Amino acid sequence: MGNVTSNVAARFAFFPPDPPTYDVYREGDGRIIFTGLSADKNVDVHLIDTKGGNKIVATFWKHPYGRFTILYSHGNAADLGQMQDLFIELRAHLRVNIMSYDYSGYGASSGKPSEFNTYHDIEAVYNCLKSEYEIKQEDLILYGQSVGSGPTLHLAARLQRLRAVVLHSAILSGIRVLYPVKMTLWFDIFKNVDKIRNVSCPVLVIHGTNDEIVDWSHGRRLWELSKEKYDPLWVKGGGHCNLETFPDYIKHLRKFVHAMEKRSLAKEKKANLTPTSSLTESMCSKCLRFGRR
């Protein structure tokens, strides 16, 4: 029974578009070309090696004044070729950089999709952000949509200085989408219900009240389990794949990013006002010289 249930969960989790909606190839000068990509000079295309032995495609959408970078893990039955319009909209409205990627076996990424391959994938993309763009945790927002909440919370649970996490139509776990189990089973996949407890940064949950694939109760429970809750967005009448079409979606995200900017600035201001250790030691030595204790 366990193996059967596990296989059912795995089949639910991975439905890459077939055929892929784009391809990539290298020019003679070494540049990576993404077929069908909008004519946009502020997009970098990467082929990244993962610990799983695969090469995955990633795109970095640069905003000239972006303070934060969103690392976006997309949902099921989609690849990067279908996500371009959303990334352009998010970049413009939120004034952020967007790093997006296709899981192993999705789009032009090599390999086969699996739970652990998605973990290797997001780790490799995060390392690229650090090495290629010098992105710090404090300036990084992890965004997981549907199945993408799995790799998102995998990474978020391991990083202690993240700016924030966004969970969009997220799942509690693979099995819980299919069966209302009360405990985590050993063969379950994407055990978000357990990992959310280890996330220390602010968490925004977005979920449609009429989600026909992942019930609204998943988002509500993840929000309840978050250590640092941000006001959730429960999209009335929203389904699983259409939340971006509701006006409140961008409005709420913009408010969230603005709140994170204010928090970041306040922290920087506080740090600048705190005396350095050398200055403090110097002041204390002067106090001792004048007989103060």
Catalytic residues: 146, 211, 240
Q: What is the three-class DSSP state of 174?
A: helix
Q: Which of 179, 178, 180, 156 is nearest to 167 (CA)?
A: 156
CA distance 13 to 117: 12
Total number of residues shown for the chain: 293
Element (H, E) at 285: helix 277-289
Element (H, E) at 164: strand 164-168
CB atoms within 10 A of CB 161: 11
CA distance 186 to 55: 29
Asked if residue 62 lies in contact with residue 147, where contact means CB atoms within 8 angstroms, the answer is no
Residue 224 burial class via C-beta count within 10 angstroms: exposed 0-12, middle 13-18, buried 19 and up: exposed
